[in-house]
Structure 1
């Protein structure tokens, strides 16, 4: 049975039916879309129109950014004087795109511009003293940082001493003391008049785009494709002008003439006809990010900037290869991390997971940490030993209710390098201090009252019936796109009838593919990294619930709707029909109470009941009169009353029916009265009837089933019609007149047939309905008038 990873919570509807009606009537959207818009705080037709149809005029004046005028004038002076300008970037997708935007804008104006993209492993993040000194000694007199620099105080002071001006364009968290740069263009730094920029959530590429807009004195449409990639890749708020940048950027990518971008799209097998923000997030951004994670990210700028198709294809191939290598390393290190955790009880039970690998590639440790957080639903730090060093270096990722940065900060002096924020950190430390780190994290978990027993909450937009999920429904949803941070793609709980076509996919069978079926509709679904749930999902005994996002999948020029599964939950129904005519040991592997109605069957199978389970003969279980969470009814009772007594005594939460019976008496039936008359006559004429040696002959002569004949003889014996001496049956000379129904065997046979009718011959629906009456609580019986 699959247990959900999250606690599902359906979003509360905004109580404004009048506004919903206005949105539906005037905007032409469905009631669902109207409610989603209102939930986002959109409370007017005008605001809703701006949200649904972004306009390029919604972009703010770039000169509202602090120091923009000063920065533009300094760049213009540098261009006019043919100064050497260097754009100092960053090694992730946002940094690569920021660098491309800034350098291309300056190049378009005739500037003498070069780029420098720091190496993750040798330079580290942000301004680097040695790199700055080398660049400036090479003739640079104006340095422009993109996607970094606001915390580069020391390096910028060095640049000033060496006679080089530095313009910082950044969007990261602000330090207590801003650097002494020539200009700082940052959306959350106040301007000279104390005013803040209208939108503080630009990406590094977004800030570079604003500078390019001011420099070129118009919106640079040819840079929107690059700006959109950086904006989506950096997971910034997709509201306000970021929504404009990405909306128009997607259109620009669909029509791009950049050889590098076209080659990358081809390599990623992206369909430009259905291209959207997800293709940026899952196809383009990872390949650009992999360059910086695996080596030198400078080639990423070359890829986006080049107009040489051969060079573009070569770099795109390289980016794809690096991305594949990155995936392999992540899978390898993740598997090793899980092995380490599972093999060590102390690590397995720790509130914060800390794993130390031997010589692991540093560029993928943050991703491995994220995978561990997803796997164990607790913070994780993944470190690796460094070659020819006694140090370890790595990254950490956290969950919403634990501040990882604050947890480590008290031992900052124990670190060689440390930085980050609530959800992610990077750290370098001496290998012999790892135990101190673990101790501090355990202490912080107590101080922050980290609760790992409760599931994280996942907000569900709405519950929808699978039969209503059509192409029109999907197109209506896409009106809310582009989706991203602060405009999350709607997550639905899908109501359906059954799960079909379950199979594992992927090279390592780690993914799960299936379809959910309604009355008229069937939609494919894919669940990444959940391939191990295939058998449970195919088990139709449980009620399965699924939440996920609705997307479109294009294969061989055909586009079909597809659910991207976010979580799966299964609920064991109160009554589970697993009736069988053959028992297997695998039926006795779960904990619970196993009840047997025949001692011979119990003696055969009691030994295979697991230690976590209990085996009872039904008469003993009735006398126990204790509640059972899960009750396994192994064999079929002779009477319905026997089952009723067990159910009323144990009051099980879940009852699983195997109801094994080797031979059904219903198939033999109850002999007719005429048959009894034939038997009576036969016994009268055969004074020494040997029931052992002559039974087959007698059955053939009377044209009766041998088992029926044996049953009838038993009835006659019980009623005193005949007597037995050894194997010989004789008619009693003066038998008392009695009804056949008075014989105990006759009564039992009637009850067995009745039990079989209700328990073995009924369909599942009839079985559930019949058994349910014996599972009702006293209160429910009162409500039902029983």
Structure 2
């Protein structure tokens, strides 16, 4: 079930268009993204690195920089501990590269997903003590690891936390939240209540980048030397699915500009094995091609394999590792497809029983792909979903949520069922004893206040725009809205009742459908739908008209360019 909504935000689009030399359609799209006022519009269209905030505005940065500067000077050993996902690997690389280039005695460890689980723990601390490490610097984790941090302090380690995850809290009787901060020497996280940093939505790599910027400034080094890190930061920002607004948007734009010129041998190899050096690279390539290969190493082997790729300077070795990561990701895709089928069968049963939050148990699923499977089921059924699987100790899994259901806050309400948990409003991870699975399913559903209307998939249409308005120039102008991602989604247009003159089907799986369409004004245009032919024909029946949402593109074939629409949602009518 879908509910289509049309944005109705008001502004003088003609005036904005004239002022910024953009089509009124572009002005309307910018307004739909809540970018208001000349200054904000200018920053949205032309924002660059000069618009990034001073890193010293972030709480703890000055103190953290002072400590690291002293450790570099005194030749003390520093170990970076990150998460095993893309954001963790990239955060780790950013800190390692910057501190190493400043002469720091630096190494790293990434927790093993299966053996260690998420984030820093006592085993990692013990290993650091054994290795005579002086300082631990976390990235993309640590904010919820109070016990491990306390253990580290008891063993004489200097502990610096850099993280971006939600800060754990105690809910007081009056409904107020009391933060629980780990007892580290310094905690750097823009989501702390007392942090005055203007843009708190950075990913872990964004926090790490701002930290090393401050470090370079503090040591009198030229921060332009950090520019090559921007392409890596763009990958992490897109893959961690943080809002592509403000500073995140600038980081991704600037990183994409520089990605083909990167001096990083490993990143070049990864681009080459996917034939991306000859193509225009946009956020899609980062999120759906490059990122999954980095993630695959942490899922099926060790994330250190991906990090070592980015530290590799031998081109042949880098190409070999990049090929191995691509193969790992291909294996991961196949495992995911099998898992999705099994999960969907369960999900449909629980949904039919009336469960609002779908807690699915797949004992044989590789725990590293539980989150991906949860995301696929969530996209299909539009319910919050947890996918749990057998782990070394009990069961373990990941959740993915829908708008209006803060997964982390809801898990806080039933925290007694978990042995460990953490996350964001839209995604979370947890561990629990096997015997608590039914209690978890029961309690999380009893607390859920969502109702039927919340499960209808919402399709938000930017503009009800007939295809007659589409021009090559308008499509070129749409590129100013890129990069697309969370909170800066690709625009969606709609046309009511286009006549279907012809249907052609392509692709070895018969899942590329090309429609020859004609508007009531006589405009002819091709429409593409990526869907199974049988399913499409069943829906179409004998109908001759289609109402659809779409995104316009320029199709280039044998040197000839034509306008085309890629159809996202649709329904049919007779005539």
* TM above 0.5: yes
CA distance in structure 1 between the aligned counterparts of 2:227 and 2:107, rounded to whole angstroms:
22
State which of 323, 332, 335 in structure 2 corresponds to 1:326. Answer: 332
Residues 724-758 of structure 1, C-alpha deviations (whole Å, 9 max, x = no match): xxxxxxxxxxxxxxxxxxxxxxxxxxxxxxxxxxx
Residues 61-84 of structure 1, C-alpha deviations (whole Å, 9 max, x = no match): 111111222212221211122211
State which of 258, 261, 272 in structure 2 corresponds to 1:266. Answer: 272
1:354 aligns with 2:356: no
Secondary structure of 2:465's counterpart equals: strand
CA distance in structure 1 between the aligned counterparts of 2:550 and 2:161, rounded to whole angstroms:
41
Question: What TM-score does the superposition give when structure 2 sets the normalisation length?
Answer: 0.88
CA distance in structure 1 between the aligned counterparts of 2:270 and 2:559, rounded to whole angstroms:
20
TM-aligned CA deviation for residue 557 of structure 1: 9.1
CA distance in structure 2 between the aligned counterparts of 1:532 and 1:247, rounded to whole angstroms:
40
CA distance in structure 1 between the aligned counterparts of 2:506 and 2:345, rounded to whole angstroms:
22
After alignment, is 114-123 or 511-520 more displaced? 511-520
Residue 86 to residue 418, structure 1, CA distance change in 2 (3 Å): closer
Residues 467-487 of structure 1, C-alpha deviations (whole Å, 9 max, x = no match): 433332211111111222222
- Give the match for residue 537 of structure 2: 535
Q: Is the 1:67–1:184 Cα contact (8 Å) retained in structure 2?
A: yes
Q: Is the 2:239–2:291 Cα contact (8 Å) retained in structure 1?
A: yes
CA distance in structure 2 between the aligned counterparts of 1:469 and 1:526, rounded to whole angstroms:
18
CA distance in structure 1 between the aligned counterparts of 2:136 and 2:451, rounded to whole angstroms:
44
Superposed counterparts of 1:603-682, under 5 Å: none
Q: Is the 1:502–1:537 Cα contact (8 Å) retained in structure 2?
A: no
CA distance in structure 2 between the aligned counterparts of 1:341 and 1:237, rounded to whole angstroms:
29
TM-aligned CA deviation for residue 555 of structure 1: 8.2
CA distance in structure 2 between the aligned counterparts of 1:275 and 1:494, rounded to whole angstroms:
29
TM-aligned CA deviation for residue 96 of structure 1: 0.8
TM-aligned CA deviation for residue 195 of structure 1: 6.0
1:498 aligns with 2:500: yes
Q: Is the 2:260–2:268 Cα contact (8 Å) retained in structure 1?
A: no
Residue 438 to residue 162, structure 1, CA distance change in 2 (3 Å): closer
- Give the match for residue 292 of structure 1: 298
Q: Is the 2:546–2:572 Cα contact (8 Å) retained in structure 1?
A: yes
Secondary structure of 1:140's counterpart equals: coil
TM-aligned CA deviation for residue 405 of structure 1: 4.7
Secondary structure of 1:143's counterpart equals: strand
Q: Is the 2:110–2:303 Cα contact (8 Å) retained in structure 1?
A: yes
CA distance in structure 1 between the aligned counterparts of 2:164 and 2:408, rounded to whole angstroms:
20
Q: Which of 1 and 2 has greater Rg?
A: 1
Secondary structure of 2:117's counterpart equals: coil
CA distance in structure 2 between the aligned counterparts of 1:336 and 1:90, rounded to whole angstroms:
28
Question: What TM-score does the superposition give when structure 1 sets the normalisation length?
Answer: 0.66
TM-aligned CA deviation for residue 224 of structure 1: 0.8
Structure 1 vs Structure 2 CA RMSD:
2.8
State which of 11, 15, 18 in structure 2 corresponds to 1:25. Answer: 18
TM-aligned CA deviation for residue 563 of structure 1: 4.7
TM-aligned CA deviation for residue 449 of structure 1: 4.5
- Give the match for residue 474 of structure 1: 475
TM-aligned CA deviation for residue 130 of structure 1: 0.6
Secondary structure of 1:274's counterpart equals: coil
Residues 609-628 of structure 1, C-alpha deviations (whole Å, 9 max, x = no match): xxxxxxxxxxxxxxxxxxxx
Residues 174-219 of structure 1, C-alpha deviations (whole Å, 9 max, x = no match): 12221122222222336xxx66011111111111111121222324
1:317 aligns with 2:319: no
Q: Is the 1:526–1:563 Cα contact (8 Å) retained in structure 2?
A: no
State which of 386, 394, 414 in structure 2 corresponds to 1:381. Answer: 386
TM-aligned CA deviation for residue 272 of structure 1: 4.7
Structure of greater relative contact order (alpha carbons < 8 Å, 6+ residues apart): 2
- Give the match for residue 571 of structure 2: 569
1:138 aligns with 2:131: yes
TM-aligned CA deviation for residue 348 of structure 1: 5.9
Superposed counterparts of 1:400-549, under 5 Å: 400-405=403-408, 407=410, 409-445=412-448, 448-451=449-452, 455-494=456-495, 496-498=498-500, 500-503=502-505, 505=507, 511-518=511-518, 519-527=522-530, 533-536=535-538, 539-541=541-543, 543-549=545-551
- Give the match for residue 171 of structure 2: none
CA distance in structure 2 between the aligned counterparts of 1:87 and 1:559, rounded to whole angstroms:
50
TM-aligned CA deviation for residue 237 of structure 1: 1.9
After alignment, is 247-256 or 350-359 more displaced? 350-359
- Give the match for residue 284 of structure 2: 278
Secondary structure of 1:269's counterpart equals: coil
CA distance in structure 1 between the aligned counterparts of 2:336 and 2:215, rounded to whole angstroms:
41
CA distance in structure 1 between the aligned counterparts of 2:60 and 2:411, rounded to whole angstroms:
35
- Give the match for residue 206 of structure 2: 206
Residue 159 to residue 558, structure 1, CA distance change in 2 (3 Å): farther
CA distance in structure 1 between the aligned counterparts of 2:209 and 2:86, rounded to whole angstroms:
15
Q: Is the 2:500–2:544 Cα contact (8 Å) retained in structure 1?
A: no
Residue 563 to residue 406, structure 1, CA distance change in 2 (3 Å): same
CA distance in structure 2 between the aligned counterparts of 1:381 and 1:320, rounded to whole angstroms:
27
- Give the match for residue 301 of structure 1: 307
State which of 115, 120, 123 in structure 1 corresponds to 2:116. Answer: 123
Q: Is the 1:55–1:244 Cα contact (8 Å) retained in structure 2?
A: yes
- Give the match for residue 392 of structure 1: 395
Residue 47 to residue 340, structure 1, CA distance change in 2 (3 Å): closer
Residue 383 to residue 539, structure 1, CA distance change in 2 (3 Å): same
CA distance in structure 2 between the aligned counterparts of 1:196 and 1:453, rounded to whole angstroms:
34
